[in-house]
Amino acid sequence: MLLVFDIGNSDITIGLWDETLWKNVWRISSKPDKPELFYGVKMRDFFSETQISMRDVSTVCLSSVVPGLTEKIKNMIRTLFAVEPIFLEPKIYEQLPIQILNPYEIGSDLVANAMGAFIKFKQTCIVVDFGTALTFTTINGEGKILGVSIVPGLRTALKALTQNAAKLFDVPLEIPKSALGTSTVTAIQSGIVIGYEGLVRKMVSAIREELKTDCPAIATGGLSFVISPLKSFFFAIDPTLTLDGIRFIAEAVENKK
């Protein structure tokens, strides 16, 4: 079995692949202040609940954009699974069938998104990842990353707003009935949720216009479900695209050995 880790700023998403499907997908809040033991206990609990032996895991691959967690998770993997994890970093990118734009600058999660989209969709496309950051990664049909756009994610924008305005407070990320907010809650929901719908449409439109092609947009990320009016706008909503990208990278690296 293959175990993959997507270590993001808000959550660590963990997937267990059994050669045909994602047997399990788990999430843990990203907490760099927690010790390695905390994550080890979580993993033991996950495997105990599924009654799958840790010895069945033969390969582990991880992507991390949180330096404070990277070594802790690597050490936990070495201790629990007795394997050296494959780590997404520039020195392995040359083994992949995609061309990485600025390998020492681009986040490994965006590389995973590009790899996942290239293998699964086999055409020029835009990956819209609704995470801590809202990212747009464009990759062409030949596997070249053409560019990336980044804005604060929905929760990040909401947190910045409520923490910096004394009379505003955290609200659920839900579609309001009207763009005309009539309370603090619906006013924030209107501005953030409906506003971000327009942002996504405009950003994708600008990319398509520049490329002179009506390439498909693929949604992924933990908050991809929030802006439901965009459902028909996307060619596909693929919650496991990043995990699949990490999986494809692990397979490419293993095949090079």
Contact between 199 and 135 under an 8 Å Cβ cutoff? The reply is no
CA quadruple 106, 89, 34, 222: dihedral positive or negative? Answer: positive
Domains of the chain: 2-87 (3.30.420.40), 91-245 (3.30.420.40)
Distance of alpha carbon 9 from alpha carbon 30, whole angstroms: 6
Confidence tier at 164 by pLDDT (50, 70, 90): low
- Please tell me whether the overall predicted TM-score, pTM, comes out greater than 0.85 for this model: yes
Q: Are 216 and 238 in contact (CB under 8 A)?
A: no
Check: CB of residue 115 under 8 Å from CB of residue 106. no
DSSP-assigned beta bridge partners for residue 145: 139
Question: Which tens digit of pLDDT belongs to each residue from 188-225?
Answer: 888 888 899 999 999 999 999 999 999 999 999 977 77
Which helix (H) or strand (E) segment holds residue 218: the answer is strand 217-220
Average pLDDT of the chain, as a whole number: 92
**pLDDT tens-digit readout, 170-192:** 777 888 888 998 888 888 888 88
**Catalytic residue from among 6, 109, 129, 244:** 109
pLDDT of residue 61: 98
Report which of 116, 200, 213 is spatially closest to residue 157, judged by C-alpha positions: 200
Q: Of the candidates 91, 118, 83, which has an alpha carbon nearest to the alpha carbon of residue 216?
A: 118
Are the C-beta atoms of residues 54 and 81 closer than 8 Å to each other? yes
Which residues, 6+ apart, have CB-to-CB distance to 193 below 8 Å? Answer: 154, 173, 174, 175, 176, 226, 227
d(Cα 156, Cα 171) in Å, to the nearest integer? Answer: 13
pLDDT band at 168 (very low <50, low <70, confident <90, very high): low
Cα–Cα distance for residue pair 165/193, rounded to 1 Å? 18
Q: Is 109 among the residues known to form the active site?
A: yes
